[in-house]
Structure 1
Amino acid sequence: MTFERRDAARNAEPATGPVLSVRDLRTAFRTRSGWLPIVRGVSFDIAERETLAVVGESGSGKSVTALSIMRLLDRASSRIEGSVRIDGRELVGLPEAEMREMRGRAMGMVFQEAMTSLNPLLTVGDQIAEVLEIHRLQEGAAAREEAVRLLERVRIPGARARAMDHPHALSGGMRQRVMIALALACRPRLLIADEPTTALDVTIQSQILQLIKELQREEGMGVLFITHDMGVVAEIADRTVVMLGGEVVESDETDAIFAGARHPYTRALLAAVPRLGSRGVGSGPEHFPLVDRASGELRPARPQPDTVDRQAEPVLQVRNLVKRFDLRSGFFAKVTGRVHAVENVSFDLRAGETLSLVGESGCGKSTTGRAVMRLVEPNSGTVRVAGADLVGLEARRLRDVRRHIQMIFQDPFASLNPRIPVGAAVAEPFLTHRMGTRAEARAKVADLLGRVGLDPSAASRFPQQFSGGQRQRICIARALALDPKVIVADESVSGLDVSIKAQVINLLMELQASLGISYLFISHDMAVVERISHQIAVMYLGEIVEIGPAGSVFSSPQHPYTRRLISAVPVPDPARRREVRPVSNDEIKSPIRPADYEPPARRYRQVGENHLVQEWDGDWIP
C-alpha cells in the first residue's frame, strides 16, 4: 500500500478512542551504579482537539516523558517500559524503521529552542520540503510550494520570501513558527510542545499560544503541552498533569486544579505564579507568596518597606546614553548602516530603589545595562556612579569604580568557571580588589553564602553540583562580595522555574531591605517586574517610551506599546482558555538605520507624579 493510500485509509476511519494513551510509562537511564529511574509509572490520555499540560519544575521528568513517547532517547543508555499508543497502535517495542514513519505522520514535536533544532545551513523552506520528501508526501517543486503554504498557515508574513531565509535571519518568534510548520507538515494526530514559549518575550509568547489553539481547532489535533509556567497552563490546557520526582502527584481538569489544588506541590506552583495587578497603586514592591511543599502551608506575600529617599542624590545617574553598532560592507568595509541599539536614554536610580527596564528582545534594554557597566563602549552620554563618570575612564580607574556597580547575568552556569569551587569564585573579586586577606575572604564567602540561603560548606563544591536556582544564588553572592551600591540584573531569573524564580526574587528584595542595594532590573516578564519594582522604564527601539512609578505605569499605562506589553501577559485564569483572540504577526521593527540617519528630537509629557510618556504622532504602529 502506498503512503498516500495508507493516509487516506487512516483519515477515512473515525477515531474511536484517545489520540494518545500512556499507561504505566517508566523510563530509566544507565549509570555507573546501575539503572536510574527518571519517569515512574506515568499514565494519561489525550483526546482529539484536547490539550493536556504536563507541568513541573526542572528534573520533574516532564521532558523525558515527551522524549519517551517520541522514542527520541538513546537506546544504548535508556530503557522505556509500559505502553504508549497512538490511535490504538503500540509504540513501545516498535521497530525503529516503523517508528520513524510514526514521527511526523502521527506525531510532531516542537522543542524549546528553535535555533538548535533548525539546520543553520539550509533555508527554512528547504527544511520543510525535506520533511515532505522524506515521508514521500511531496517532491521537488510541489514540496517547496507546500512549504510556502505551511509557512502561511502558521501566519508568517511574506511566506514566499521568508521561505528563502536561513534560520538566523528570523526572529525567535518566527523561528518558533517555522518549528510548528515543520511539526505540522505531515498533518500529525498529536502535537507535542516542549516548553515552546519559555525563551520568548511575552507578546511573542501570546502569539504562539494563540496560534497553537487556532491550528488545533482547524486540524483536530491532540496537544501535549509541557511547561513549568502555570499562567501558560491556564491559558491553553483543558486538563493538567502535575509531575514531581518522575511521578504524577495530581491530575485533573485545569479548572478544578486552579480552583482547589489538593497536593502541596501543586499549590506551591500556583502560589508562585506572578499575577498582574496584584499590587495596588502607591504601594511598594511585594514578596511572592510561597508554599511549604511538605506541609502545604502558605507563606503569604508581604510588602517590602519603601524607604527610598527620592530627594537624595542618585547612586546611578544616566544621561543621554547612546550606543550604535556600525554595519560594514564592501571591499573597503565602508560603514553602510548602524544599529541604533540605545538612543538618548536617561534615568536616575536612588539608594534602595529598583528601576526595571522592560521591553521585547531587540528593544535595547540589555545593551543599556552593558553600556552602563561599560562592557560595551557607549558612543556618548554620561554614567555617574560614586561621583565618577564611567564613560571615558581609563582602565585602572574604571576597575576601581566598578567596585560600586556589579552585574548578574541571565545564565548562571555560563557565568561560573566549572573548574574552580564556588567559594573561590565568590572570593575572587574580593581578592582581586585587595579588600582583605585570604582568611578574611573565606569568612566573607561563608557570610555571603549564608545570606543567599546556602550552607557555607557548599564553598568547596563545583558549579555543576548545584541546581539552576542555587547557581544563581552563588552569582548573587559573588556580586555582593564587593559591597556594591548598584547591581545590574540582566534577565537574571528568566531561565528559572516559576517557584525557584519566586525564591530568588524574594531573596533579592530581602538583600535590598537589609543592605540598601539598588537594582537596575532588566526583564521582559511584566508580572515579575510589577512585583519587584519601584520605577519602570519601558523601552522600544532603543528609546524609553514611558517611565514612572511601577504602580502608576501598570494601573494607567499611557503609551500604546506599554499597553500592548501588559495585555499580552498570560492571566492564570482558566476561564480565559476558551477565548480565541486574533493571532498577530507583529514583530518589533528593525533598529538598523542608514549611516547618515539622525533620530528626531523626542518630546515627553508628564501624566502623573514622576510619570513621563514619549509623545507619538497619529496612530502608533509597532
Structure 2
Amino acid sequence: MSEASPVLSVEKLTTAFRAGGEWRAVIRDISFTVDAGETVAIVGESGSGKSVTALSAMRLLPPATSRVSGHVRLEGRDLLTLSEKEMRAVRGGRIGMIFQEPMTSLNPVFTVGNQLAEALVLHRDLSWAQAEAEALRMMERVRIPAARSRLNEYPHRFSGGMRQRVMIAMALACRPKLLIADEPTTALDVTIQAEILHIIRELQREENMAVLFITHDMGVVAEVADRTVVMLRGDMVEEGRTDAIFAAPREPYTKALLAAIPRLGTMGASPAPKRFPRVDAAAGLADDGAPASVPDSTQAPVLDVAGLSTRFDLPNGRIHAVENVSFAIRPGETLALVGESGCGKSTTGRTILGLVKPSEGAVRIDGEDVLSAGRAGLRQMRRTAQMIFQDPFASLNPRITIGAAIAEPILSHGLMNRAAARERAAELLDKVGLSPSVASRYPHEFSGGQRQRISIARALALSPKLIVADEAVSALDVSVKAQVANLMLDLQESMGLAYLFISHDMAVVERISHRVAVMYLGEIVEIGPRASVFGAPGHPYTKRLIEAVPLPDPARRGSLPPKLSEELKSPLRPLDYVAPPRIYDEVAPGHFVQRIA
C-alpha cells in the first residue's frame, strides 16, 4: 500500500432520500479511505447501503430526491463540490464503475464495440480506429469468445455473464485511478469470476489502481480485499483488515454474516440436501441447518429430456446452444444444471418450457410430449411446469400489484373467480413468508429477496409439479440467499416439487441438489449424484469449476486456479457442422462422465 495520501477519502458521508415530504437518512456518517494499489471491500445485506455509498461518491443519485453531505475526495479534490460538467470528466476517466445490472447500463441501440470505443475516444483521446482496436483488445482480455466477430453485436445478443464482461472491459479500458465495482461478479460463473478477479488484480498492479469492491460474496472478499467495511442498515458496524475480521469478528452481525456463508466440502457423502443455517443476527449465531429429504427413486419422472438440441442460425454460422442433452427428474428431486455463462443452461430451461423452439429431441413433462403439443397443449403444460427467472424485477409487471400478479395465472386458466383467486394469492404470500397485507403493493416497493419470494409465489399459483429455477438465488446476498433456498427446500418437501435448478453458484448447488449435471459448450459433460460429482469429479471442466470457487478464508488467498492462457472456445460452428457422437463412462453408480476424445 502507498504511504502517500489516499486515492479516495470518504468522510462522514450521509445520504438522505425524500419520502412522504420528509428527508430520511439511508446511510449515516460513513468514513473510510482507499489507497493506490489497495482493495477495500464494502459488505452487508441488501438494503445495508453499500450501493448507495458508491452512487453517492459518484454523484449519480437524482438531486431532486436525494441529499448528500460530508466529503468525498478523489486525489484531494472534493467531488461533492464539483460542477456536473467536471464530474462527467471524472466519471469513466478518473473513476471507472462496474454496475451490478449490465443490461440497464448498456445502450440497447448501439453495438458493444461502438459503446466501448466511444468511452475510449472521450476519455483517452484516441482516434476512432485506435479506439476500436483497443476495444477489441479489452474484449479479448475479459475473455469474450470470438471477440472480433462479436464487436458488432448488440447487448441483447449476449448472455448476462457476457454483458457483465463487456461492462468490466468498459470500466477498465480508460485505466482509471479508482475502480468502483458494485457486485461485479454476481452474474458470473465461478471460472469467469476467477478470470475477472485475475484481470482486475493484473490491472491494479500495472496501473497502481485503487479498488472499492462492493459485494455480498464473502469468498470474493477473502480473495481480493486488503481491508473490509461491514455495513448494516445504513451504518458502518465494523472496519479493519480482512484477515483480522475473518479470524476474530467483533460485532454480532459480522459473526452472523460469516456463519451463514455456504462452504464447499461441508456436505460429505450425504445423499440429501441440507438447509442453510438460520442466522440470529442479534446474537451472532447460526444453526447448522436441518437435512432435507431424499426422493423416491421408484417414481416415474415428472420431466424426461432425450436428445434435446437447440441451435440458432447466424449469417456466419450456427450457434449450437444445446447439443444432444438427456436427463430425467423425479418428483421431490432437484437436478442442478451448472456451467459457465453462455454454456446453454438457460436455453435448456427455456426450451423445456416451450419458450424457445428446439432443433430436435424430445421433452416429456408428466408423461406429455411438450414439443409436439400445440398452443392448447403448451397452455395446459404450464399448469404442470413453471419458471422462476433470475431477475424478479424484470419478470414482474411494474404496473400491477403483486397480489394481481400472483392471481393472474389462476384467472387466465379459469381455475377460480376473482374473490377466490385473491384468497389464493394471500395464501401463497403467507406460504413464501410474506404478509398477505402486502398484496396491494407494487414490485418497486420490495427488496430483491422479497421480489424473488413473490416470483416463487406466482410460480406456485397453478400448483405445478416441476419448477425450472433459472439463477433464482444468484443475485441475492448471503442471508437472503439462505432464506430463499430454505424456502425452496421446504416447499419441495411439502408439495413434492421437482426442480431443475440452473445456477453457477457451486456452494449453493452442493447444498441444495440431489444430482448435478455439468454443461460445457451446450453439452452435458458429467452427470450424477451430488456427493459423487463433488467428491470425485471425473471431467477436467468439472474439476476446474470446483477449484475456481473462492474460499471464504483470507489465509488461503491465491487458491484460485491460474489464469487461463488459451482462448475460450465458442459454440459458433459452420453451418455444415455435425456434432460427433459422445461416449459416457459410468465411473460410479449413476455417475456418468463424457469420454474425452
TM-score (norm 2): 0.90
Residue identity opposite 1:418 in structure 2: P
Q: Which amino acid aligns with 1:381?
A: G
Task: Confirm or deny: 8 A CA contact 1:15 1:87 kept in the other structure.
Answer: no
Matched residue, 2:309: 322
Partner of 1:86: 74
For the residue of structure 2 that corresponds to 1:403, the secondary structure is coil
**TM superposition shift of 1:383:** 2.0
What amino acid maps onto 2:430 in structure 1?
G
Match of 2:245 in 1: 257
| Aligned counterparts, 1:14-163, within 5 A | 16-31=4-19, 33-103=21-91, 106-114=94-102, 116-118=104-106, 131=119, 134=122, 138-140=125-127, 144=131, 147=134, 151=138, 154=141
Q: Which residue of 2 aligns with 1:607?
A: 587
Could you tell me how far 1:104 is from its partner in structure 2?
A: 5.2
Structure 1 residue matching 2:69: 3-state secondary structure:
strand
Partner of 2:498: 518
Q: How far 1:215 moved relative to its partner?
A: 1.9
Contact 2:518 2:524 in 1 (8 A): yes
- Write the distance in 2 (CA, Å) between the matches of 1:492 and 1:346: 23
The equivalent residue for 1:552 is: 532
Find the counterpart in structure 1 of residue 214 from structure 2. 226
Report the Cα distance in structure 2 between the residues aligned to 1:323 and 1:132, rounded to whole angstroms: 37
CA distance in 2, matches of 1:572, 1:398: 44
1:563-574 matches, cutoff 5 A? 563-574=543-554
State the alpha-carbon separation in 1 of the partners of residues 103 and 421 from structure 2: 42
Q: Is the 8 A contact 1:191 1:221 kept in 2?
A: yes
TM-aligned CA deviation for residue 406 of structure 1: 1.9
1:230-266 per-position Cα deviation (integer Å, ceiling 9, x unaligned): 1211111011101122211111211122223233332
Contact 1:319-1:347 at 8 Å conserved across structures: yes
Q: Kindly state the Cα deviation for residue 426 of structure 1 after the two structures are TM-superposed.
A: 2.2
The whole-number CA distance in structure 2 between the counterparts of 1:240 and 1:174 is 28
Cα separation, 1, equivalents of 2:499 and 2:131:
50
Secondary structure at the residue paired with 2:307? strand
Instruction: For 2:312, give the aligned amino acid.
Output: F
Per the TM alignment, residue 569 of structure 1 is displaced from its structure 2 partner at its CA by 1.3
Q: Equivalent residues in 2 for 1:334-413 (5 A)? A: 337-413=317-393
Higher mean alpha-carbon deviation, 416-425 vs 243-252, is at 416-425
Amino acid at match of 2:306: R
Q: Work out whether 1:309 is the aligned partner of 2:296.
A: yes
Cα 1:396–1:92 shift into 2, 3 Å: closer
CA positional deviation for 1:352: 0.9
- More displaced, 485-494 or 419-428? 419-428
212-221 vs 173-182, which moves further:
173-182
Deviations for 1:261-284, whole angstroms, at most 9, x for unmatched residues? 233332333233221111112431
Instruction: Give matches, 1:142-541, under 5 Å.
Output: 144=131, 147=134, 151=138, 154=141, 165=152, 168=155, 179-180=167-168, 182-184=170-172, 187-306=175-294, 308-327=295-314, 329=315, 337-541=317-521
Distance 1:559 1:580 in 2: 18
Aligned length: 595
1:195 is displaced (CA, Å) by: 1.7
Q: What's the TM-score once normalised by structure 1's chain length?
A: 0.87
Report the alpha carbon displacement of residue 613 of structure 1 after superposing the two structures with TM: 0.7
Question: How far apart are the structure 1 equivalents of 2:146 and 2:532?
Answer: 41
- On the 8 A contact 2:161/2:187 being kept in 1, the answer is no
Question: Partners in 2 of 1:485 and 1:121 — Cα distance?
Answer: 40
Shift of 1:181: 5.3
Residues 453-511 of structure 1: per-residue CA shift (max 9 Å, x gap): 11222233333332222222122122222222211112212222221111011000011
Q: 1:221 to 1:397 in 2, by over 3 A?
A: closer
Percent identity over paired residues: 61
Q: Distance in 1 between matches of 2:38 and 2:332?
A: 48
Task: Decide whether the 8 Å contact of 2:121 with 2:128 is kept in 1.
Answer: no
* C-alpha distance in structure 2 between counterparts of 1:494 and 1:134, whole Å: 34
Alpha-carbon separation, structure 2, partners of 1:314 and 1:456: 34
Q: CA 1:588/1:537 → structure 2, altered by over 3 Å: closer, same or farther?
A: farther
Q: Is the deviation greater in 416-425 or in 576-585?
A: 576-585
Partner of 1:5: none
Structure-2 separation of matches of 1:166 and 1:325: 15
- Quick check: 1:126–1:163 contact (8 Å CA) kept in 2? no
Q: Which moved more, 1:583-592 or 1:348-357?
A: 583-592
The farther-off stretch of 171-180 and 16-25 is 171-180
Residues 110-156 of structure 1 show CA distances to partners (whole Å, capped at 9, x for unaligned) of: 33344554556767677666556545x64538954993797399566
Which amino acid counterpart does residue 18 of structure 1 have in structure 2?
A: P
Q: Distance between the aligned counterparts of 1:68 and 1:516, measured in 2? A: 46
| Higher mean displacement: 598-607 or 272-281 | 272-281
Supply the distance in 1 between the matched residues of 2:185 and 2:279 (Cα, whole angstroms): 26
1:187/1:494 CA distance change after superposition, 3 Å: closer
Do the aligned partners of residues 537 and 325 (structure 1) sit closer, same or farther apart at CA in structure 2, a change above 3 Å counting?
same
Question: Are 2:270 and 2:531, in contact at CA under 8 Å, matched by a contact in 1?
Answer: yes
Given the superposition, is the C-alpha separation of residues 453 and 130 from structure 1 closer, same or farther in structure 2, using an over 3 Å criterion?
Answer: closer
Cα separation, 2, equivalents of 1:160 and 1:519: 35
Q: Distance in 1 between matches of 2:469 and 2:256?
A: 25
The separation in 1 between residues aligned to 2:148 and 2:383, in whole angstroms, is 50
Query: 1:323-371 CA deviation, whole Å, 9 max, x = no partner?
Result: 22333x5xxxxxx743222222111111211111111122222122122
C-alpha displacement at 1:584, in angstroms?
A: 2.4
Give, in whole Å, the separation in 1 of the partners of 2:115 and 2:399: 39
Residue in 2 that maps onto 1:10: none
Question: SS at 1:92's partner residue?
Answer: helix
Residues 409 and 338 of structure 1: CA distance in aligned 2, closer, same or farther (over 3 Å): same
Distance of 1:44 and 1:52 partners within structure 2: 9
- Residue 620 of structure 1 corresponds to none
Worse overlay, 404-413 or 584-593: 584-593
Supply the RMSD in Å over aligned alpha carbons: 3.1
With over 3 angstroms needed to count, the CA separation of the structure-2 counterparts of 1:18 and 1:605, relative to structure 1, is: same
Structure 1 position 163, deviation (Å): 10
Q: Which structure has the larger Rg over C-alpha atoms?
A: 1
Q: CA deviation at 1:610?
A: 0.3
How far, CA to CA, are the matches of 1:53 and 1:244 in structure 2?
14
- Residue 65 of structure 1 aligns to which amino acid in structure 2? T
Partner amino acid, structure 2, of 1:92: L
Question: Residue 201 of structure 1 aligns to which amino acid in structure 2?
Answer: D
Number of the residue aligned with 2:542: 562
Whether contact under 8 Å (1:268, 1:290) holds in the other structure is no
- Say if 1:28 and 1:38, in contact at 8 Å, map to a contact too: yes
Query: Is the CA contact (8 Å cut-off) linking 2:237 and 2:251 kept in structure 1?
Result: yes
Conserved? CA contact 1:427–1:478, under 8 Å: yes
CA change 1:482–1:162 in 2 (3 A) is closer
Within 2, Cα distance between the matches of 1:337 and 1:602? 22
Aligned pair in 2 of structure 1 residues 157, 197: CA closer, same or farther (>3 Å)?
A: closer
